Amino acid sequence: MKNHLKRIVLACLMLSLLMTGLLAGCSRGTGNESTPSPSAGETPEPSGGQSPEPTEPAASPSPTPGSEFTIPDVSFQQYDIPDNAALAFVKDMKIGWNLGNTFDAVDCDWLNNELDYESAWAGVKTTEAMIKAIKDAGFNTVRIPVSWHNHVRGEDHTISELWLDRVQEVVDYVINNGMYVIINIHHDMGKDYIYTSSEYLDQSLHYVKRIWTQVAERFKDYDEKMIFESLNEPRMVGSQYEWWLDEKKDECKDAVEALNKLNQAFVDVVRASGGNNASRYLMVPGYAASYSGALNSGFALPKDKVADKLIVSVHAYTPYNFALEAGGVNKFNLKSSGSTGEINSFMDRLHSKFISKGIPVVIGEFGARNKNNNTQDRIDYATYYVAAARARGITCIWWDNNAFTGNGELFGLFNRKTMSWPYPEIVEGMMKYAD
């Protein structure tokens, strides 16, 4: 009888251990399958082989409400937004998603096939099923950052047909799903290509003109849902003023003037290419694409042949100590001005300088990296940020680098390998106030 009782106790213990293991496997996925993106300034080590193709389920999943987190209610007084076509256009862009760490990958010297750049950082190549999943989740804009310098040859920077064809193929995925799409010149900043100073201006102008001449020609027959963005975070790479200008310094004033000329060259080249480019909406950033760069007294919108077709491009991982800084803080308090104050302040200033005067603004990159699984704080942040922006007539685009694990910048929302949404409530929070 005692032996029989022992066997029963042992069996129960084994069953308990087995159930514990099974339940642990039911916790929220963290995106372990994806390759984290390299941190700024770092080059990833070669993987030794080609990146695997993603598996595609029969139907792309969409975010669904979770039970352990809450979507906050926030309210803003609606700001005065002029009634014009440009602001209506940006309003219809609704909310956006960045195909980050994909076509923007650079200097991957271990690759033999240039088309493998697409998966060198994110670990996966883009499929139309992925883009459909983005659409199904409620996004209406996809920004496709593109770096070009590893795909050009000669002094005139002739773009590889293979590379441009592949960029166009993914652009078509977005267009075919009825969304807006943005392409740009991304990680081509630096003294070898584009550097915002009078010393490097001739070289920079040549590069900008040559790239946009070829890209504009390729896409000139696309409708207005195709948007061109001149430059990504144009700046004096490597200088003490790379990210923060001192408006009193001559070299900082010079950098702003040089950028104005680069943006003007971009507009002139695109308009001269004809087709639908003659009246296409174009995005232009201030220095480093920061909100302070756009608000800089020296920043000027380019002169344009058509009225009301320019959009100010801004990147704002704000507040920095929560959204982007590696250490910083991991809490976002909706009731504290320490969390919300800078968001309201910079958006008010953008509204005053641009939107109130009929000039649209798109925040082409924003987001909050995962810090020790601070999911509820990120939900609160994303919900508040988008609600604040939409109240002022601004459209926002989340930076998604497909990174979910490790110690880097974990901005991933949509796991492209598993076609899943590890943090559906963040998406739900953004969608709550996106319309």
Active site positions, annotated: 186, 233, 365
Give phi and psi for 303, each to the nearest 5: -75, 140
Instruction: Report yes or no: 363 and 394 within 8 Å, Cβ to Cβ.
Output: yes
Sequence-ordered list of residues with C-beta below 8 angstroms from that of 49, at least 6 positions apart, any chain: none
- Residue 25 CA to residue 21 CA, distance in Å, equals 7
Query: 19 vs 23, 30, 263, 384, CA distance in Å?
Result: 6, 21, 61, 39
Burial 160-187 (b: 16+ CB within 10 A, else e): eeebbebbeebbebbbebebbbbbbbbb
| Residues in a beta bridge with 403 | none
Written as six digits, the tokens of 59 are 């139907």
| Residues in a beta bridge with 395 | 362
Measured on CA atoms in the order 62, 134, 360, 379, is the torsion positive or negative?
Answer: positive
* Token pair 């009246």 in the structure block, residue: 279
